[in-house]
Structure 1
Amino acid sequence: MSETNEVRWNHLTAAELNVLAERGAVVLLPIGSTEQHGPHLPTGVDDFMAAEVCRRAAHMVDKRTPVVVAPSIPFGLAEHHMLFGGTLTLSLSTLHALLRDLCRSIDRAGFDWILIVNGHGGNMTALHALITELTAELSISVGFTNYFTAGRMVIRETLETQDGLMHACEGETSMVMAALPHLVRTQELDKAVGPAITLPAESTDPVYFAVSFRVITESGVAGNGDKATAEKGERILDGCAQALADLLVTRFRRR
């Protein structure tokens, strides 16, 4: 994939960002988490992959829709991973306050469109609620998507052992192998296995209880990280980016 114009907010000057705001650019705001990802992956997986998909999507639509990728937010709601160690988590009120202030700043910088792009399942419910509040508070349009929801079809078609992303699994491990291969502890891949989990959107459990992820899997892995390949990861990243790019072109109009 060839890259032409710079799309990262913190690599642009204020003057360049002012021009993009005047052009009606959409601001992508990636958010992930910093949490354990089994014995073989770094704690920044959710953050890194959300930012990577946003960057790729922005370049895909560069000639059609101006897009700016804001600095990614590396923290989210990760209480369920705390017992493993190596995890940083926010409270719900802190997460909402942080995102509210950032969206207000983007509004004051002259932009009319924000799309929060999430890479961590634990953030989903909180982000849905926040979007409702921000829509009432701000004069600009704020939307929310999960990159793995936008790209669910390519994920399903690519993976061999599961239908969607789980945790430190075949899919996430493949994406890190493709984007940041030096961060994969390949000597630990034989330990990167755990039970399959029901994806939140597909749960049929009538009652919700908060439980530690350690109750679900001792390894910290859900799925089969040992089945990952860089080729699968590249296909997933590009496929999710293309799905996000399609949303940018069809759902956000230019001035």
Structure 2
Amino acid sequence: MINERYSGKAFNEKFLARLTSKQVKEMDKEDALVVLPIGAIEQHGPHMPVYTDALIGEGLLAQTFEHFTNEHNIWMLPPLPYGKSTEHLGMAGTMTLSASTLQAVVSDIAESVKESGFRRLVLFNSHGGNHDLLNMVSREIRIQTGLMVFRLNSSEGHGLDGIVSEKEQKFGIHGGEVETSMVLDFKPGWVDMKRSPIDFVELPEDNQHLYLKGGCYFAWVMDDISYTGMAGDATKATREKGVKINARTSEFLAEVFQEMSRFEIEDLKKQAVR
């Protein structure tokens, strides 16, 4: 379970916004990595808070930054809790930005990161609906600012094998066993397990190629695939599973962020044939 917000190493030692302008200006930025967390405020079924995605992003970063020392030049910006949640629009509690608004906000923040002298920015995303847009935005930021831009989902490196079933990994994409377990670890009082549902997508029996995400994708909104506003089996969620998932994920994220802080895009062509 994470401590109260603004405590722990992430906020006490690695929170860029707690520094003065002078401190930021004088900081060694050669290997500095700035992390911008981007979440969402949207319905997550009858048992989970609308803050679920933003909470998961913040909770994972709080754990991830515990792996760093003062030698790690990795810094967190204040989280952007709102995302593009138009697939949930009309469901109570969903507060969404349009694609163009989210792109503009992230691009403006990136420009400010550049103007502050930094060279590396990672868009750390904890909402599936932001994924495609942020992939596109990251390249636009690279073109417009010259920053080295990285894009990473909070779901990367979960290592769910041995914790949840293959079916849940494939179809439990929103408010199911995985997300519910993670929130039970971070904020157990925010989950009402008595209301946790089971609601799996039923693709046609003869379907071989179409997927909800990745592969041969078809566009959908939540009403197309769910009766309850979630997808998966939340009844199987436990705090113990959440502890394991969050620990595996934060360890992976710590490794990735360190690699990003060492990365130099100019090195990619050093071995190129001339």
TM-score, structure 2 normalization? 0.82
Moved more, 4-13 or 164-173: 4-13
Aligned residues: 247
Indicate how the Cα distance of structure 1 residues 106 and 195 shifts in structure 2: closer, same or farther if over 3 A, else same. Answer: same
Q: Secondary structure at the residue paired with 2:240?
A: helix
Aligned with residue 155 of structure 1, among 126, 147, 160: 160
CA displacement 1:68-126 (0-9 Å, x = unmatched)? 11111111111111132211111111111000001111111222111111111111110
Query: Which residue pairs with 1:58 in the alignment?
Result: 65
1:61 Cα deviation (Å)? 2.6
Flag the 1:24–1:158 CA change in 2: closer, same or farther, 3 A: same
| Percent of aligned positions that are identical | 28
Write the mapping of 1:42-57 to structure 2, written as runs, cut at 5 A: 42-57=49-64
SS at match of 1:158: coil
Counterpart check, 1:187 vs 2:199: no
In the alignment, which of 209, 212, 216 is matched to residue 204 of structure 1?
216
**Hey, what does 1:228 align to over in structure 2?**
237
Q: 1:86 to 1:239 in 2, by over 3 A?
A: same
- What is the rounded CA distance, in whole Å, between the counterparts of 1:193 and 1:85 in structure 2? 20
Instruction: From the CA coordinates, give the structure whose radius of gyration is larger.
Output: 2
Q: Is the 8 A contact 2:30 2:119 kept in 1?
A: no
Q: Within 2, Cα distance between the matches of 1:13 and 1:194? A: 48
2:119 is the alignment partner of 1:106: no
After TM superposition, the structure 1 stretch with the greater mean CA deviation from structure 2, 27-36 or 155-164, is 155-164
Separation (CA, whole Å) in 1 of partners of 2:143 and 2:52: 32
Distance 1:232 1:176 in 2: 10
Deviation, structure 1 residue 229: 0.8
The answer to whether the 8 Å contact 1:54/1:117 transfers is: no
- Give the deviation of 1:218 after TM superposition: 1.1
Distance 1:20 1:226, change over 3 A: farther
Task: Give the corresponding residue for 2:257.
Answer: 248
Q: Equivalents in 1 of 2:142, 2:263: separation in Å?
A: 19
Look up the match of 1:118. 125
RMSD between superposed Cα atoms in Å:
2.4
Q: Rate the CA distance shift 1:234–1:14 in 2: closer, same or farther, 3 A.
A: farther
Contact 1:20 1:66 in 2 (8 A): no
Identify the structure with the greater helix proportion. 1
Quickly say closer, same or farther: Cα 1:169–1:35, change in 2 above 3 A. same
Following TM superposition, by how much is the alpha carbon of 1:196 offset from its aligned partner in structure 2, in angstroms? 4.2
1:173 equivalenced with 2:185 (yes/no): no
State how far apart, in whole Å, the 1-side matches of 2:24 and 2:241 are.
35
TM-score by length of 1: 0.87
Q: Verify the 8 A CA contact 2:31 2:261 in the aligned structure 1.
A: no
Matched, 1:219 2:228: yes
